[in-house]
Amino acid sequence: MPMLLMAWNKPAMSIAPVAERRAADLAGSVGQPYRVSLSRCNSAWCEPASHAAMVKIDVPQGGRWRVALDTMLWIDVWNGDTKLTGVLCEHHGCQPLRKIVQYDLQPGAHWVVLLGKAAGESGVLVTRVSD
């Protein structure tokens, strides 16, 4: 957890909204916090009247990875058109982190999707779980 908090304290980068999963979108880096804005989601994969934000992340090596948020939103991770199943949910509950979900990821592009009922902002960070 100390490594996660050290990474979280780096300056966050704001990113433009991404509405669909495309190979051409620029990928963010693991270990870099991002600030995203949730907006109304009109895609087929969204619940009606939901709001979403999406971050494409390039995972450099396979293993267990944490997706951490500073808000209580729903987290999904996609690999292309496949939604992956989280392997552990850590309800941290303390500022600045509010929710953490772990995933077993292979190297390559993954899309972290945040879903909520209202527009807003969230911090998101993907870090490797220590072996």
> What percent of the chain has a predicted confidence (pLDDT) above 90?
49
User: Higher pLDDT residue, 5 or 126?
Assistant: 126
**Encoding tokens for residue 3?**
């490594």
Domain count, the chain: 1
Q: Is the pLDDT of residue 68 over 80?
A: yes
Q: Is the pLDDT of residue 33 over 70?
A: yes
Confidence of residue 62 (pLDDT cuts 50, 70, 90): very high
Mean pLDDT of the chain: 85
The pLDDT of 56-71, averaged and rounded, is: 94
Report the pLDDT value the prediction gives residue 93, as an integer from 0 to 100: 58
The pLDDT of 99-109, averaged and rounded, is: 94
Claim: this prediction has a pTM higher than 0.75: yes
Tokens 């990821």 correspond to: 105
The Cβ-side half-sphere exposure at 63, using a 13 Å CA radius, reads 12
The Cβ-side half-sphere exposure at 99, using a 13 Å CA radius, reads 14
User: Higher pLDDT residue, 25 or 87?
Assistant: 87
What is the domain range of residue 89?
A: 2-19+27-128
CATH number of 121's domain: 2.60.120
User: Higher pLDDT residue, 93 or 107?
Assistant: 107
Report the pLDDT value the prediction gives residue 28, as an integer from 0 to 100: 84
